[in-house]
Structure 1
Amino acid sequence: MARWILKCIVCGEERIFEAAFNLRLFGGKMYLYCRKCKANREHLILGCEEGGEECLSAGVDVID
């Protein structure tokens, strides 16, 4: 499981998101529920948490 750092575009709140797939394949942005805004908001994918070697292992074959 990889730990990704995401940032809400509206309020700037950063959060850790655990995923079993490579979020880089989403083009740098994705929609998630923001606890601070209390709404579904666009989040920037800032990258993997330090020491996250799992983030590099997923390939492009997950998306058709």
Structure 2
Amino acid sequence: MSLRISEISLTERQIEVLHLLAQGKRGSNIAVQLGISVCTIRAHIRNAMQKLDAANIPHAVARAYVKGILS
């Protein structure tokens, strides 16, 4: 399932990872919490950054807030 806001379609998992990053969690901690590999977390982050046209993780989180994806 995906969420479409302002022509940006992120998966639920990508949104979940961005939310956890916004809380200050690191990729390795997120991987343990979600029970998936760090490589998978990196892929979710990379894909979300591409979709949000973000240069880095803080930029992706900020854009997600501005677009109303995170609240």
Q: What TM-score do the two structures reach when normalised by structure 2?
A: 0.30
Higher percent of residues as helix: 2
